[in-house]
Amino acid sequence: MASVVVSIDNTGDTCTLFGFAEVDLTTSMGHAPVQHGSDQPTAVTLAKGGRATFTIWYHPAPADRPGTKAHLLHVTPPGGTQRQTMLWPGTDLADEPDSLATTPLLEEPIGH
Q: Which residues pair with 4 in a beta bridge?
A: 56
List pLDDT tens digits, range 35-92.
999 999 999 999 999 999 999 999 999 888 888 999 999 999 999 999 999 999 999 9
List pLDDT tens digits, range 83-106.
999 999 999 998 876 544 455 788
Q: Is 74 inside any structural domain? A: yes
Which parts of 28-69 are beta strand (E)? 30-33, 35-36, 44-46, 51-58
Q: Is 97 inside any structural domain? A: no
Supply the pLDDT for residue 99.
Answer: 47
Q: Using a cut of 0.75, tell me whether the model's pTM lies above it.
A: yes
CATH number, domain containing residue 68: 2.60.40
Q: Is 104 inside any structural domain? A: no
Work out how many domains the chain is built from and give that number.
1
The pLDDT-based confidence of 112 (bands split at 50, 70, 90) is low
Segments forming the whole domain that contains residue 82: 2-92
